[in-house]
Structure formats: structure tokens, C-alpha cells
Amino acid sequence: MKKILVTGGAGFLGSHLCERLVEAGHDVLCVDNYFTGSKLNIEHLLNRPNFEAMRHDVTFPLYVEVDQIYNLACPASPIHYQWDPVQTTKTSVQGAINMLGLAKRVKARVLQASTSEVYGDPEVHPQPESYWGRVNPIGFRSCYDEGKRCAETLFFDYWRQHQIEIKVMRIFNTYGPKMHPNDGRVVSNFIVQAIKNEPITIYGNGSQTRSFCYVDDLIEGMIRLMESPAEITGPINIGNPTEFTMLELASTVLKLSGSKSELIFKPLPEDDPKQRKPDIDLAKSTLNWAPNIQLEEGLSKTIAHFRKVLAASNHPAQ
């Protein structure tokens, strides 16, 4: 049994990770400031003797004794991270400094949840870890993109300078139950609009592509990276390499939900990538990892989850 800290543990990915670690018998400390995380995501764990939740903002130091740190704290959807861009950058940069400082003090292994956004609007497709990216440093998305890039820099400098055991994971589009219904991401947007039979909003002409990884596959890759030999530092792409256009995603959601929604088109947001697809050869060779859950299966589970969430919000408990 390990003592494991998960920052951002009440968020979408963090709550799934906490669940897996608790079920594996580890002693899990979930830290979250609840800006985008929700207590509802972790309430089923609160009565477990090997789970503890703490309200804390990672931009402030944290003094705990742990063996491993998963640093997931940071709003990850454009709506949330652009709401307070200065705080977003602080969370990525100062949060990384604080978690690396903690790891140095207690000699813990630490994993950084980085992002495919470090590649920006890529000129190389698919994106291998060796690609340095094409990011606008002064745009509306830069608080997130550059914050995560700086966090990676800090992780590798701490590794070289202080011999901290680091793991850096570049997360590509992930979806599944516990996503925030109003996070502005394409999967949650399409599903909520379809369930409500509202027009489905497509930005641009719908030809831009994304690859979608189901959350269970993503968490499996994250744990495998954390448990890999010390010399495997990353960065390692974790995502599903099967590519879909926005129009293909919309039509699949319509089919699976039985929705009567129509499609409407709006201008493409600034710096929105045209293509995004991971090269996962490194994850296959070093972690023996590849995604197993196909889009239709994952979307069916996610649609079922959102139906429950939306039904509960329309009929709150008295």
C-alpha cells in the first residue's frame, strides 16, 4: 500500500484516478480547490478508510508525507481556463513548483498531467513526443498551453538538477462519465445538446479532427506510466489515435442518443487546432499500453451518464 496524493482529485480525471487507486488498496489523499472539481465526483469514496479529501489550492505549498504525487490540478476546458487566465498559469507553474518541492522534500515520485495542447496548432501529424509544437505565446489559449509547457520545463529541470523521479504524460482528448456538463468541450457539448434536442453547435465547417480516448483507457495509461521504471520519464503521449472529424462525432452522438437535433455552424475560435492525433508508439513500446474502448461504446456510456445528470438537475431532491 502506498500513500498517494492526487491534486485535482475531485475533477473529471482525478476522481476516476482516485477511484482506481482506492480500489487497489492505496491510501489516497485527494486535494482540490473545487474550482472545476465537484464533491459529487468523490462522495462515494468519503466513507472509505483509505481515502481522504482536502480543500487546498496548489498555488500554495502543501506539507504532507506521501510516496507518489499525481499532479492533475488545473482547469482543462477553454471556458474554465480562460475565465481567470492568470490563475490558470499560476496553477500550472506555481502548482508544479510546489508539487516538485514536496516531491524533493519527501523523496516521492511525481507525475505531471501535461496536455496535447503543448503541440499547439501542429504542423506535424500525428504528433510524436519529439515534436516541439507550434504555440501562440500571447493568445487567448496561451495561459493553458504555455503554462503546461513551462510545467514540463520545471519537471525536467528538477529531474536534472535534483534527481527527482518524474513522469510527464501528455493527455489527448479524453471523455467519459463525470465530465462537467458545461465545460465547453466538444463531447460534452454535443451530448448535452443532443439529449435536450437543441441545435448541435459546430465551429468552422466541421472538418477539423480530434481523437477521443475513453477515460478508463486514459487512467490505465496514467497508472502504468507512474509504475514504470524510473528511467522512463516521458513525455509520453496517452490518447486514442483513431481520428474523427467534428461532423463524424456529431452524427455518431445523434445516432446513439436518438436525438432530433439539427446542426448549426459558427466561426472557428482563435488558435483552435485543425488536427489533433497522438503518435502512441512510445506508449506501446515502453508501457505496453494502447486504448481498448472504441468511440461508440464509450459514447454510449457517457450519454447514459449525462442523461442521469440532466434528469437529476431537472428534478432536484426536495
- Residues with catalytic annotation? 144
**Helices 85-106 and 142-162 sit at what angle, rounded to 10 degrees?**
20
What are the φ/ψ torsions at residue 43 (nearest 5 degrees)?
-60, -30
- Residues 6 or more apart whose CB falls under 8 angstroms from that of 251 comprise none
| 151, 259, 304 from 197: Cα distances, Å | 41, 6, 15
Parallel/antiparallel/unpaired status of strands 109-115 and 68-71: parallel
* Secondary structure (DSSP) of 192-242: HHHHTTPPEEEETTS--EEE-EEHHHHHHHHHHHHTS-TT----EEES---
Identity of the residue numbered 228: S
The runs of H, that is alpha helices, within the chain are: 12-23, 78-81, 85-106, 142-162, 186-195, 215-226, 246-257, 281-287, 295-314
Report the C-alpha gap between 265 and 57 in whole angstroms.
Answer: 38
